[in-house]
Structure 1
Amino acid sequence: MADADMDLDQALESAHLPALLAAVVHMTGDGGWLRPEWTPTYTPLSRGDPGLAPEVQAQIRREVKPVIEAYLAGGSLRTPSPDRPTLRRMMDFVGGGPIPETYADFLIDEIAISGKSSKDPQFEQPKLKEAARKLSVLVIGAGMSGVLAGVRLSQAGVRFEIVESNPDVGGTWLVNTYPGCRVDNSNHMYSYSFEPNHAWPQHFSPQPELLKYFRGVAAKYELKKHIRFETRVESLAWDEARSVWRVELRGKDGRAETVEANAVISAVGQLNKPRVPQIEGVGTFEGPAFHSAEWRHDVDLAGKRVAVIGTGASAYQFVPEIAPKVANLKVFQRTPPWGLPVPHYHEDVPEGVKWLLEHIPFYDKWYRFWLFWMTTEGFLPMVKADEGWNGPTTAVGEANLGLREMVAAALAAQVADRPDLLPNVVPTYPVGGKRAVLDNGVWLGALKRPNVELITQPITRITPRGVVTADGTEHEVDVLLYGTGFTASKFLSGLKVKGRGGRDLHETWAGDARAYLGMTVPGFPNFFMIYGPNTNIVVNGSIIFFSECAVRYIVGCLRLLAETGAKAIEVKPDVHDAFNIRVDDANKGWAWGSPNVTSWYKNEFGRVSQNWPFGLIDYWRASLAPNPDDFVLTREPEPVS
């Protein structure tokens, strides 16, 4: 944490001035600080620069300094909770222009200036508290979403247990330890809205810091006493006679146990099963060979000949880390990634920013609000397909073409000294068609190293000595690394789920996973998923926002059970089907839905099974609370048929 005695002038130099001025309104109760001539004018990729002349920025710092000094000397907040008109003015100011009224409630809820949010469990009534104590929930997974579910269930007073196959919390941030592993969403958003961290060391923090954060939240809410570690959930079966889930567990010692729960929440996510490509000879390589998600730290790469298969998000992070250490690095690429320019991707958060977040009341709220608003729509309009687009197939619309030209120019500038690389580092598919990565120059810097070779010839087979490409060349190496992603479309693979009447979930899906709001499936009462089908986001927002919305909705379903005395809640088939028709139709209108693009966003049938095709506000609204009309509520256990 930044020093409490930090020089104020130094801290103010690091301030996001619009957020600071909003904080000053709280201190003074004076909306006059939101001067029209101080309204920020942001530009894409501006990192929050308000677009004001240097002398104007200096003036703002001079004028706010005595106000802040007076507050720190013992002053009080004049307006801790502004009225709605004032709050709307503050939002428009920090956002850099009028924010549509349709977004107002959504954003006010996200800021949670009063300290309360719609995401807080609403179980205050004595009757609900009594009913909550009678419920029991089993959560599968103690990663980001599982920890979140545990926090909210604890706050609601619902009995719960979390089952985790790993020895600690953290999920993907525990398991993925490859060099360079870090988040690609700003940390001040990639954190729970109710648990800000003012001490993030970097804007996009590395894996150890993320693991530390989730461990800290689990400790604060005393979740470990609710978690069975090193235990696997092998199967779930719905007991219709008693309206409970029978859950088969297997511990580290191999011993099986069956437990029961009124409801089950799957928090296993989408990106947890490494995908090794189906290449002839996989498994025959005689040297060390492993996937980035199963990094072997016992294998010293220094001075070795190394092959990397795949150039997705993980390879984009670990290749620049290992390139200076190895003797020779061969990177096998099928399609290049789009790298969106983010120069500060590896930069430290200035100590002044940390100090302001910690010591200036409400500054953290408004700084997060700015980040959130900038990514609420984000690049979304730029990856939208224009109806009837007849332009180049490298884009899906006019705005998408403009984004493509901007990003392609940034990539080309980095390889101006290596024109031979240019055709192989600028993708031919539309921006947004596949997962984009954040580019600060280190990826192409690594590819330009004299000991690194980018190979675009297709791989035909793996041999005991290396990799053979379509031109007949055998590339002999000492170590083989797979940066080939995950089996994302195979939702809940390895978990047997039997619902009403013994209905099998995977047979129901038949490889094409679908769910209502990504959370619930007809025929599977009291069974919920977080980060389920069609809840992934591409270029806007943080996945933690989606998980918070999902947990709010799931806790709302539990509340509905408590309010009605029902034993089971099950989405109606027509509601589920109509929702999925809307999703499929909408996904066709985005770059990732283009028929000319293949990616992990699509399943084996070519259907986009991963992505949410609407705005963040739409998921927020849809998940505010369950509509009882969408569900069948069973108030008494059904007789066994």
Structure 2
Amino acid sequence: MSPTRPRIAIVGSGFAGIGMAIRLLRMGLTSFTIYEAAGDIGGTWRDNTYPGAACDVPSHLYSFSFEPNPGWSRAFGGQAEILTYLKHCVRKYGLAPYLRCNAPVHAARFDETRQVWQLDIGSADGDAEQIEADVVIAASGPLSRPAMPQIDGLERFEGKLFHSARWDHAYPLEGKRVAVIGTGASAIQFVPQIQPRVAQLALFQRTPPWIMPKPDKPVGPRMQWLFHHLPFTQRFVRGAIYWQLESRAVAFVVNPKLMKLPMKFSLGYLRRRVPDPALRAKLTPDYLLGCKRVLLSSDYYPALGQPNVDVVTTSIREIVADGVVTADGTHYPADTIICGTGFQVNDYGAPFDVTGIGGADLGAKWLRDGPEAYLGTSVADFPNFFIMVGPNTGLGHNSMIYMIESQVQYIAECLRELARQGARTMNLRHDVQRDFNARLQHEMRHAVWTTGCRSWYQTKSGKVTALWPGFTFSFRRRTRRVRADDYRFAR
């Protein structure tokens, strides 16, 4: 490869892929292609179109720092508005010529002899193609593969069955008996939207989430005018939101005992919104706030109190042709089952087959040890292979866009370091990865996510592999520069 014009393959066109592509153009690099499996850009904001889909991070912070949007219509952006923003970024920065849609990456293999990556690319018509790249940037994200529940008899259900991330808008829910499995971040948004439309809604809850009211409100034309004509005002608002959210990390990662105050507030909110003591008991969490994802909603609790809703806390025994049967033998008839059961994050392999030095299998490594990387970005034995929103980069308190921009900076510095070294590849040292993850798990001991609950943040063994155990600005500091000694360069 040319040190100044490496062939770069970006896999995925969500916030991470688009942000990375914009940085490459700003660096003067045009030798890249974005490979997108779907027919359009957008990642999770393209796929999750369920009723009520919206972000739980304020709009002014859930956007690129270099591309503020003065026209946000609400404090918390909805799915359609966020997708529109991403498409605006593609247009403004001229990414269309570098984008290939309907081009899923099935596998990536590192050719040790030639020091290049070989990628197997699919197409809409099923044809396969093999391309070469000097650098691969996996930006498909952890929330891209819907997880269906492992329940006996699911395949025997004769009604309509779909996952919330694959919502069937052509299917009418009016007058239907609907069973919803799961009470996570998606369910608390779509349940209030469909409750008035359905005849009966059975909500199957395994563990009640901690819920805070969502301080959402419209952004009026005066504020939009101010943000547009005086951009520093929007930067001020963004900074204020960032530090407000960042202050919560003290309770998440420093001293979980500080969660007692927000727990008291959340329980008070529950009492005010759910007057029925029996229902309130079902919805009261018995674990420390923050151990699982804290959810925001101002209409979820009122929806559950409606006469056509039944919150079921008995575990599901099986799915039958016409409904759901719980462990106590109760049969809940259903015309429709909607799975709000999240995504394949832990205890799953890589998003596509990745083979590195000596036949190293990234998916097998992650299945054996849990997802692991250095700064969530580099993995030993996989030269010039970078991951965005990788292991231990997730957050429970702030905006992932901040973390994405930090990784963009780090990968850009890696590319510059390759050029400075006059090298073809850079491969992370095993001891660097091992020591980093040992320190990371040590720091995790004091975080709220290790206080006893089970969540998608963890592997089955209990290892927290999804979240960053610290302040976001500490991650930004560690990704600002590349330490050349962390890598071995092949020239």
The whole-number CA distance in structure 2 between the counterparts of 1:167 and 1:490 is 28
1:521 aligns with 2:385: no
Q: Residue 154 of structure 2: SS of its match in structure 1?
A: coil
**Structure 1 residue 493: deviation in Å?**
3.8
Distance 1:288 1:245, change over 3 A: same
Q: In the alignment, what sits opposite 2:9?
A: 138
**Structure 1 residue 551: deviation in Å?**
0.9
1:631 aligns with 2:487: yes
Alignment of 1:254-265 (within 5 A): 254-265=126-137
Is the contact made by 1:465 and 1:476 (CA closer than 8 Å) also made in structure 2? Answer: yes
Q: In the alignment, what sits opposite 1:616?
A: 472
1:408 aligns with 2:270: no
User: What do residues 467-526 of structure 1 show as CA deviations (whole Å, max 9, x unaligned)?
Assistant: 001121110111111111111115654511111122211223334110000011111000
User: What do residues 447-474 of structure 1 show as CA deviations (whole Å, max 9, x unaligned)?
Assistant: 0111111111111100001000112111
Q: In the alignment, what sits opposite 2:230?
A: 360
The whole-number CA distance in structure 1 between the counterparts of 2:351 and 2:107 is 9
The whole-number CA distance in structure 1 between the counterparts of 2:168 and 2:287 is 34
Q: In the alignment, what sits opposite 2:316?
A: 459
Amino acid at match of 2:447: W
Alignment of 1:368-387 (within 5 A): 368-377=238-247, 379-384=248-253, 386=255
Amino acid at match of 1:406: F
**How many residues were matched structurally?**
489
Q: In the alignment, what sits opposite 1:221?
A: 93
Q: In the alignment, what sits opposite 2:461?
A: 605
1:176 to 48, 66, 69: 48
The whole-number CA distance in structure 2 between the counterparts of 1:504 and 1:457 is 40
Is the contact made by 1:182 and 1:204 (CA closer than 8 Å) also made in structure 2? Answer: yes
Is the contact made by 2:209 and 2:295 (CA closer than 8 Å) also made in structure 1? Answer: yes
1:423 to 265, 281, 291: 281
The whole-number CA distance in structure 2 between the counterparts of 1:519 and 1:551 is 10
User: What do residues 590-637 of structure 1 show as CA deviations (whole Å, max 9, x unaligned)?
Assistant: 11112x2100000122100101001111101110011111111111xx
The whole-number CA distance in structure 2 between the counterparts of 1:251 and 1:277 is 29
1:149 aligns with 2:20: yes
Distance 1:384 1:229, change over 3 A: closer
Tell me: higher relative CO, structure 1 or 2? Use CA pairs within 8 A at least 6 residues apart: 2
TM-score normalised by L of structure 2: 0.97
**Structure 1 residue 131: deviation in Å?**
5.9
Q: In the alignment, what sits opposite 1:581?
A: 438
Q: Residue 172 of structure 2: SS of its match in structure 1?
A: coil
The whole-number CA distance in structure 2 between the counterparts of 1:384 and 1:142 is 31
**Structure 1 residue 133: deviation in Å?**
4.1
Is the contact made by 1:138 and 1:261 (CA closer than 8 Å) also made in structure 2? Answer: yes
Q: In the alignment, what sits opposite 2:113?
A: 241
1:231 to 84, 103, 109: 103
User: What do residues 38-82 of structure 1 show as CA deviations (whole Å, max 9, x unaligned)?
Assistant: xxxxxxxxxxxxxxxxxxxxxxxxxxxxxxxxxxxxxxxxxxxxx
Alignment of 1:421-570 (within 5 A): 421-440=279-298, 442-490=299-347, 493-511=350-368, 512-539=370-397, 541-570=398-427
The whole-number CA distance in structure 2 between the counterparts of 1:513 and 1:469 is 33
Is the contact made by 1:561 and 1:569 (CA closer than 8 Å) also made in structure 2? Answer: yes
Q: In the alignment, what sits opposite 2:37?
A: 165
Amino acid at match of 2:473: I
Amino acid at match of 2:235: K
**Structure 1 residue 139: deviation in Å?**
0.4
Distance 1:131 1:369, change over 3 A: farther
Q: Residue 510 of structure 1: SS of its match in structure 2?
A: helix
The whole-number CA distance in structure 2 between the counterparts of 1:464 and 1:131 is 60
The whole-number CA distance in structure 2 between the counterparts of 1:149 and 1:424 is 44
The whole-number CA distance in structure 2 between the counterparts of 1:202 and 1:150 is 28
Is the contact made by 1:270 and 1:491 (CA closer than 8 Å) also made in structure 2? Answer: no
Is the contact made by 2:347 and 2:460 (CA closer than 8 Å) also made in structure 1? Answer: no
Amino acid at match of 1:151: I
TM-score normalised by L of structure 1: 0.75
Amino acid at match of 2:271: A
Is the contact made by 2:34 and 2:99 (CA closer than 8 Å) also made in structure 1? Answer: yes
The whole-number CA distance in structure 1 between the counterparts of 2:323 and 2:149 is 15
Distance 1:492 1:150, change over 3 A: farther
Is the contact made by 2:3 and 2:418 (CA closer than 8 Å) also made in structure 1? Answer: no
The whole-number CA distance in structure 2 between the counterparts of 1:310 and 1:508 is 29
Q: Residue 186 of structure 2: SS of its match in structure 1?
A: helix
User: What do residues 76-97 of structure 1 show as CA deviations (whole Å, max 9, x unaligned)?
Assistant: xxxxxxxxxxxxxxxxxxxxxx
The whole-number CA distance in structure 1 between the counterparts of 2:291 and 2:5 is 47
Q: In the alignment, what sits opposite 1:299?
A: 171
Amino acid at match of 2:273: Q
Q: Residue 481 of structure 1: SS of its match in structure 2?
A: strand
Is the contact made by 1:132 and 1:157 (CA closer than 8 Å) also made in structure 2? Answer: no
Q: In the alignment, what sits opposite 1:96?
A: none
Structure 2: gaps of 5 or more residues: none
Task: State the identity %.
Answer: 39
Q: Residue 113 of structure 2: SS of its match in structure 1?
A: coil
